[in-house]
Every structure is written in structure tokens, then in C-alpha cells.
Amino acid sequence: MKAVIIDDNQQFSKLLCDQLSIIKGDSNAQPCEKKPLKFKEEKKPENGKTEIVNAVIDFAKHESRLIAQVIVEIYGLKNGNCEGKKDQLHIFINIEGKFGGASRQEQKGVEILMWLRCKHRVCNPVILYSFQSNAELLKKKPEHLIINSEGCYSYQLPLEIEKIKQRIEARSFRGVSNWEGLKKFLKPVFDIDKFRHREANWWGIKALWDVHKVIKKGAFNESYPEKVEERLCFLNSLIGDFCHSIGVTRLEEYIEQRKKQINDEIYVLDQQINEVTEPLEKLNQKKVVTQSDIEHFQSKITDLENNWLPYTYDDSQKNAIQNEINENVEYKVDAETEQSAITNEQAQISTQKQQLTLEVTSIKKRLNELHKEIKKELVSSSIPIINSDVKIMLIDDQAEEGWSDIYQYMIYDSANSKNFKVIEFDKSIGISQKVAFAIENIFSTVSKINNEGFIPDILFLDLRLFPSHDENKKSNISSMSGTLLLKMIKNKYPGLPIVITSASNKVGSYEELTKLGADAYWMKEGIDIEYRASETVSNYIKILRYCSVMMNEEYNLLRVLAKDYMELENSRNYWWNIKKWENGDATTAPQRIIEKIYADVTCYYRNLLRQKYCLETTYTMKNEWFIYSNIINHLGKVVECVHHLYSSDFRNSGNFSGIISDRKDVVGLKLYTIRNKASHLGKAQNLKFKDLNDFVVTMDQYLFKV
């Protein structure tokens, strides 16, 4: 039986080996933290090959993660299913080993087991031993339920040493056959609800980072942010990934599978090349011998013809020499025929080897350009093109942990764009009163940055800015810190598209946030979200799509409407406030009503864009002319307000257009004429976005630039 014992006490390990009679010969290993372990090897007489059969390893000073990694590398353990496999390596682990200087109460041996199972998918049977019973171990560490999972066997020494021996003799230790079944034994270790905010943030950054490498076809090779690298070394993160990825091919695994597939193809071809290389070398050697024979026979023929035949006068001797010449000619012809056959065979094999070599070169090129293949396989839609001049503001408590970098890499291809602004704030606040004050400070910072000239085109706003505070508010999304800030920003900047980012996967969150003013909702991919590779890519593209559409001409029109609304709200000195027209009429325009019209139109149009571009459901609005007609009709009332026209005016004059014309208001008359056309079904059905855009821009010039 192949076995390895992992214990902090090498002397005890050897004693256990003797007791169990599983170690043959003098196999031993000494660990080296950064270099491969060097083993004393023993020969297997049945095949004469040298390989590691059994070893005792002393890992007293090494942490569980490293121990698991070394075991996998040294023994070549691979992911898989152990069902039906014979002669597997049996892994013995001291549950209470003081690995990495830990105390025995920490049960670090169980951590090694978790790393082997969850990180490396090692399915081999694991025999765990301790001086305490299974019940006593679980009483102290109830989260270590994995010791009772399939493929694990827990024994109390020395009481149950005979049970181990009996199983060894019966060869009845079995490995893991059902990875799905392991999840229930690991759930007590990983509490996603407790750590969702933290886990969703680092994992979400990692997911986008991985996709960006694919999207950039290998041109992006930046290392993960420090926080992500740190979390990847945490056992809790590993277990979370394992529990939520069984049965789901995540992007990283998908890439590894594709790499393995190509490397396997290369391996098969290399084997075929090796198979033809040996006979080719033999043919080369044989050809050398045959060529030597040809030269020998030719030399003999030449010698007989030149040196013997001319000087021999006896007919019988001449006949004998001639016969010898003929024999050598036949031998030479046979050798030349054989050499020709060898040459042909060489050519065939050389051609075959050359073709195989070219195929290997081609496949290696595929490996180098694998990101292109994966991109083609996973990216079902075109990647949105982002205007590099887009200005983005980010408010996120984890901005400096990696979110700022990955957003910038995605949008600008660098992490130091002048068009990207991160709002910094103290994230440690947890008391409600202080949070309210902190939100006011963040809002003031946003206003200050706007006033200083950085006017963002899009805002990325995290829902949970103060996790310790928001944890108590998660049942009431309207009271969460990000939501409170959303309301304030939306009221002051109605034309600023706001993308709420969050780890919450609740549909209700999106619906309520849109009611409160969010334009879009983007979910950070948490470690517990079982996204397939294609879904991770789609989530990446969604962010880019938001950035793209929120800079299109329709959103630019929203910015014009919002700008005019804010202008009206903040100023009271316009040409039309009190106006004396050329025909002698004097009017006082009701500015508050004009403000209300602009507020209504801005809100209405913003909701339209949200439905068209940001809802999860497919936008099916076919009669957009109807929307354009409504906006033009409502906004057209501004001209009536400027001229202070009421229904009594209509009764007296017959129509408003006549009054506007008499007052020589050329632009106002033009706007009002367009408004009237938009009111009639026949003409309204021909309205396009350009008509709406021209109307709004003309109205802007009419109110503020005449």
C-alpha cells in the first residue's frame, strides 16, 4: 500500500509506520519551504523503475496550505474521482499536529485535509488520527465536520490501531466518489451571510480581473490587487469557493480546463513524435551500414575489373573472377535497393515527424493565444466601446482595495486616469448619528469636486458604504448608507446617471433602488454566486454597456434637460420673467410652473432611459414616437408660460399661435408650431429622436440664450 504520513513528530510517525507495517525500506523526506522535497527513493523490482512508494514527512514548521501543496506536487495527485481506482496513495494526517507552530487544540491537521480536498480536489483516502475520540474533537471544533465525510476515516490512538490494521489488510479504505456530498460537511465552516460584504468585494474584483485578462487577449498581465492575493490564501475563502463551485464551471476553472485540453493534445503529439524518432534514428544507422556495403561492393568490383581481370589469362580463372564481379554487382544492387527503400521510409517518417512538429507548433501557438479562443467562446455579444473621455466618480468603501483599479483598467486601460475620481471617506463609522453626519460629508465632497470643475458623467455608488451600520439595516434598504446618499445626489444632480453596485442578489433591492433614483443596479459577483464562466463575462460586459449607453446621445439629452431644470431652480433673472413684447403686450412668466414642467419631463425621460437600457428585461417599446410626442407636448407648455397664455386668451383670440406671432416671438412660434404638430396623431407617428433632440436644444437656446 502506498502511504504518506503527515505529522509534526517524525519519531512518532516512524513508530506508527512500524505499528501499521506500511513503510517498506528506508524512505524518508525532509521538507524545504520553497524548493521541491528531496526523497530517498526505492526501486520497484517488478518494472525496474525508480519511484517514490512511501515516505514519512516531518512538517512541524510548515503551515497547512504549504503542506497540502507539497504533497500534491511530490506525489502528482490530480483532481478527480477515486471511485474504482486501485493502489491509491493513502494519506495519514495527525489531526492535532502542531503544524506551523500551532497548538494541538487548533486541529491544524483538519485544515490540511480541507486544503487537499477544496483547493487541489485530492480524492485519495485520508486516515486521520488523534489521541482524542471523534466526539471529543467535534465538541471542541464542531465546524470540523469534514472528518466524517466520504473518503475520511478518523481513529483514536492507540485504542483503535487494530481497526486501522484490519482495514489496511482488507484494502477497504476508499476515496471521494461524490464531491457534491462534501458540501454539507463544509457549510459549518463558511458563513456567507456573516461575511457577504467582504467576500463579495474581493471575489468580485478577482472575477473582473480574470475576465479582463480574457478580454485583452493576454495583453493584460497585472497581478491581482494585494487584498485579493491575501484572500486567496485564506482557508475560509477557499471553502466558500469550493462549496459554491461544485457543478459550476467558473471562469478560472474554464481557462484551466482549456489549457489542460491543449497541453494534453501537445503531450499526445510529443509521444507520437517520440514514437517515430526512434525508428528514424535506426533507419539512419541502417542507411549508414547499407551505404558502407554499397561502397565495399563497388570497391571490390572496381578492384576485380581493373587489377585482376585484365591480367588473368586462364579462362577458368577469368570466369571465376567474372562470376565474383557479377556476385558483387548483385550484392551492390540489393544494397542499393535496400538503401532506396530505407530512403523512402525515411522520407515518409520524416514527413510524418515534420507534420507532427508543425502541429505541435500550431497548438503551442494556440496555447499562447488561448485568451483569443476563450474570448470568442464566452463573449456572445460585442464588447461595448467606451469613450475614453467619460468622467466617472466612484464612491465605495472598498475602492482602494481593488475596485478603483479594475474599473479603470476596464474603461481606460490604465489605473491612473485623470477622468476617474474616487471619493475618500472614513469607513470605520458605525453609529447611526455619525453615519448620517459622514454621509453629509461625502455629499459635500461630491458637491465641492463638482464646483471645482470635475463634473462626472456617471457615478458608481456602492450600496453599503458603512458595513457595520448597514448590517443592521439590510432588511430596510431605504435606510442603508448608499441609499441615503443616492437620494441626496439624485435631488441635486438629476441628470447624473447613477449605477448602484452591491453584493445583494435580491430582486427587491433593484426594484426599490430604481424607485429611489438609481438608473442601474450592478451586482458584484460574490463567492456564493454560482456564476458559470459565460455569466461572469456577461457581468463584466454589463458594466461596460452601462458606461457606453450612458454616454450616448439620448443620455446627453437627459443632461441638457437636467441642466436647464437646475438653471431654472437656481436663478430668477431671465429675459422672459417680465417681458414687454413688440406689439406692446407685457407678460410676467410663472417660473415655478416652468420649473415644474422641466422637473416632470426630466424625471419622465430618465425613467424611459432606465427602462430602455438598464432593466434586466428586454426593452420592447416599439412606439417611441409616442414618448417623444408626450415630451414635446409637455415641454411645449413652456412657451405658453413665457407668454402667460391661459384658456381665456384662447377664447378671445381663437388660437395661441396668433398671439405669439403678433408679439414677434419667432423662436417661440417655431417651438409652439412643432408642439402642435406633435399633438396630432398623423404627424406625431413620424417623430424620431432627432426631432425630440432638436426641440429640447432649441428650447434651451430660447430660454437661456435669446
User: Is 146 found in the same domain as 14?
Assistant: yes
Residue among 44, 74, 49, 79 nearest 59 (CA): 74
Please count the other Cβ atoms lying within 10 Å of the Cβ belonging to residue 532: 16
The residues with which 587 forms a beta bridge, in sequence order, are 579
pLDDT by residue (tens digit) across 346-383?
999 999 999 999 999 999 888 888 888 888 888 877 88
Question: Which three three-digit cell numbers place residue 78?
Answer: 490530480
pLDDT by residue (tens digit) across 543-601?
999 999 999 999 999 999 999 999 998 887 899 999 999 999 999 999 999 999 999 99
Please count the other Cβ atoms lying within 10 Å of the Cβ belonging to residue 380: 10
Is 5 in a helix, a strand, or coil? Answer: strand
User: Is 457 found in the same domain as 355?
Assistant: no
User: Is 605 found in the same domain as 484?
Assistant: no
Residue 658 inside a domain? The answer is yes
Average pLDDT over residues 295-308: 91
User: Is 530 found in the same domain as 588?
Assistant: no
**d(C-alpha 298, C-alpha 328), whole Å:** 8
Contact between 703 and 576 under an 8 Å Cβ cutoff? The reply is yes
Contact between 555 and 689 under an 8 Å Cβ cutoff? The reply is no
What does 558-623 look like in DSSP terms, one character per residue? HHHHHHHHHHHHH----TTTEEE-TTS-EEE--HHHHHHHHHHHHHHHHHHHIIIIISSSPP----
Residue 415 inside a domain? The answer is yes
Is 48 in a helix, a strand, or coil? Answer: coil
What phi, psi does 156 have (nearest 5°)?
-100, 125
What does 180-197 look like in DSSP terms, one character per residue? GGGHHHHTTT--HHHHHH
The dihedral built from the CA positions of residue 561, 565, 571 and 575, taken in this order, carries a sign that is: positive
User: Is 358 found in the same domain as 417?
Assistant: no
pLDDT at 626 over 60: yes
User: Is 676 found in the same domain as 561?
Assistant: yes
- Cell 441615503 -> residue: 484
Q: Measuring CA to CA, how many Å separate 406 from each of 207, 503, 505, 618?
A: 10, 17, 21, 28
pLDDT of res. 477: 84
**d(C-alpha 212, C-alpha 203), whole Å:** 14
pLDDT of res. 53: 43
pLDDT of res. 603: 93
pLDDT by residue (tens digit) across 510-551?
778 888 889 999 999 888 787 888 899 999 999 999 999 999
pLDDT of res. 634: 95
Q: What CATH code is carried by the domain that includes residue 112?
A: 3.40.50.2300
More confident site: 82 or 295 = 295
pLDDT by residue (tens digit) across 69-81?
888 888 888 666 5
pLDDT by residue (tens digit) across 309-356?
888 888 898 899 899 999 999 999 999 999 999 999 999 999 999 999
**d(C-alpha 611, C-alpha 605), whole Å:** 10
Q: Which of 533, 551, 569 is the last residue of a domain?
A: 551
pLDDT by residue (tens digit) across 630-655?
999 999 999 999 998 875 555 455 57
User: What b/e sequence results for 77-95 when a residue is b if at least 16 CB atoms lie within 10 Å of its CB, and e otherwise?
Assistant: beeeebeeeeebbbbbbbb
The structure's pTM equals 0.77
User: Is 179 found in the same domain as 91?
Assistant: yes
| Residue 431 binned pLDDT confidence (cut-offs 50, 70, 90) | low
Please, what is the average pLDDT of the chain? 85
Residue 520 inside a domain? The answer is yes
Contact between 335 and 293 under an 8 Å Cβ cutoff? The reply is yes
pLDDT by residue (tens digit) across 149-207?
999 999 999 999 999 999 988 889 999 988 888 988 987 777 666 556 667 788 899 99
Q: Which domain holds residue 330?
A: 253-368
Exposure of 338 in the CB half-sphere (CA atoms within 13 A): 17
pLDDT of res. 153: 96
Which residues of 433-567 form beta strands (DSSP E)? 458-462, 498-502, 520-523
User: Is 21 found in the same domain as 117?
Assistant: yes
User: What b/e sequence results for 495-518 when a residue is b if at least 16 CB atoms lie within 10 Å of its CB, and e otherwise?
Assistant: bbbbbbbbbbeeeebbebbbeebb
Residue among 231, 221, 4 nearest 125 (CA): 4
User: Is 600 found in the same domain as 452?
Assistant: no
Contact between 200 and 525 under an 8 Å Cβ cutoff? The reply is yes
pLDDT of res. 430: 60
What phi, psi does 56 have (nearest 5°)?
-105, 130
Q: Which of 333, 368, 403 is the last residue of a domain?
A: 368
Average pLDDT over residues 283-306: 91
Residue 381 inside a domain? The answer is no
Q: Are strands 42-43 and 50-51 parallel, antiparallel or unpaired?
A: antiparallel
Residue 217 inside a domain? The answer is no
The residues with which 522 forms a beta bridge, in sequence order, are 501
Total number of residues shown for the chain: 706
User: How many domains, in total, are found in the chain?
Assistant: 4
pLDDT by residue (tens digit) across 220-248?
788 899 889 888 888 888 888 887 776 67
Residue 242 inside a domain? The answer is no
Contact between 216 and 501 under an 8 Å Cβ cutoff? The reply is no
Q: Are strands 3-7 and 458-462 parallel, antiparallel or unpaired?
A: unpaired
**d(C-alpha 561, C-alpha 558), whole Å:** 5
**d(C-alpha 181, C-alpha 534), whole Å:** 26
User: Is 128 found in the same domain as 110?
Assistant: yes
**d(C-alpha 434, C-alpha 425), whole Å:** 13
Is 24 in a helix, a strand, or coil? Answer: coil
User: Is 543 found in the same domain as 568?
Assistant: no
104-113 CB contacts, 8 Å cutoff, 24+ apart: 105/140, 107/137, 107/140, 107/141, 107/144, 108/64, 109/6, 109/64, 110/141, 110/144, 110/146, 110/147, 111/64, 111/65, 111/235, 112/6, 112/64, 112/67, 112/68, 113/146, 113/147, 113/152
User: Is 564 found in the same domain as 531?
Assistant: no
Residue 182 inside a domain? The answer is yes
Is 165 in a helix, a strand, or coil? Answer: helix
Q: Which of 520, 551, 582 is the last residue of a domain?
A: 551
pLDDT by residue (tens digit) across 83-121?
556 678 899 999 999 998 899 999 999 999 999 999 888
Average pLDDT over residues 58-66: 77
Question: Which three three-digit cell numbers place residue 14?
Answer: 516512524
Residue 671 inside a domain? The answer is yes
pLDDT of res. 159: 93
